[in-house]
Structure 1
């Protein structure tokens, strides 16, 4: 164990959530303390539980040499648990629900929009505009003709 290393509280991974998220969480938390790749490889199995621990126990001994190889083996095995990537098209499917306030819808929309990599501002504006039920809001937006959600 690296000198001065304090054991971190790393969430256990059981295979039911995105394996990439878990790999990145472990890597980021561990790298704060500067351990070697070998240390990461020895520590990583302690974060596994349930089906993922079973998967690990079936690996051939000494078959993993780097933390990157853990990812290359883990991710395909638990691929069905990966979160689908959000896209601008998925934002277009968002609609303000009956009885949902504009503020609540915009908050929900923003949470989804933050998950879209490289989101074009005009696509976000168009998706928000399409999802809002309030004609009053639409008219107010149309009068201002914003180019992005950041425009006042």
Structure 2
């Protein structure tokens, strides 16, 4: 606990939120070692900062791959969510990373034949491709077996 004063209800409530390794770490601190909440905050952050995921960088787009059996729509959403999170303006890299991440098939073939210049263009083309596939599926279902 923080030395230099009496235990407050807030101190006790805060300590009750600790469990497991965090509680073990807290208990291991020497009595009187912490003299202010700011000092405690700094120690706590230093202890647990290594557990934080590093902030994403533009090159992380190259790690996003379409899984076997994953619909194009789901891959587009996952990839697009990272693009939004990154706030990237590098269209060339974004387009290149998407083309490398999408599985081989009719849509990736279309990206090779007619290379998109922006991620927005990819999105429009992907939506059109998805809609066309859904329309074909609907027609096949409505016709039924021959």
Counterpart of 2:31 in structure 1 is 61
Deviation at 1:56, TM superposition (A): 1.0
Bigger fraction of residues in helix: 2
Distance 2:40 2:78 in 1: 35
Change (3 A) 1:44 1:115: farther
Name 2:75's counterpart in structure 1. Answer: 105
* Equivalent position of 1:94 in the other structure: 64
Alignment length, in residue pairs? Answer: 111
Query: What displacement does 1:103 show?
Result: 0.6
Gaps of 5+ in 2: 1-7, 125-146
Alignment match, 2:88: 119
| SS of equivalent residue, structure 1 residue 135 | helix
Partner of 1:138: 111
Which structure has the greater CA radius of gyration?
Answer: 2
Q: Which runs of 5+ in 1 are unaligned?
A: 1-37
Q: Distance in 2 between matches of 1:42 and 1:124?
A: 49
Q: Are the equivalent residues in 1 in contact too, given 2:66–2:102 (CA < 8 A)?
A: yes
Distance 2:35 2:96 in 1: 47
| C-alpha separation in 2, matches of 1:71 and 1:128 | 41
Q: CA deviation at 1:99?
A: 2.1
Q: Distance in 2 between matches of 1:106 and 1:126?
A: 14
Structure 1 segments, 4+ long, off by >6 Å, are none
Query: Could you tell me how far apart the structure 1 residues matched to 2:42 and 2:113 are?
Result: 50
What TM-score comes out, normalization by structure 2 length?
Answer: 0.55
Query: 1:89 Cα shift?
Result: 1.0
For 1:50, the equivalent position in structure 2 comes to: 20
Q: TM-score under structure 1 normalisation? A: 0.53
Q: 1:57 Cα deviation (Å)?
A: 1.4
Say which SS state the counterpart of residue 86 (structure 1) adopts.
coil
Offset at 1:80?
A: 4.1
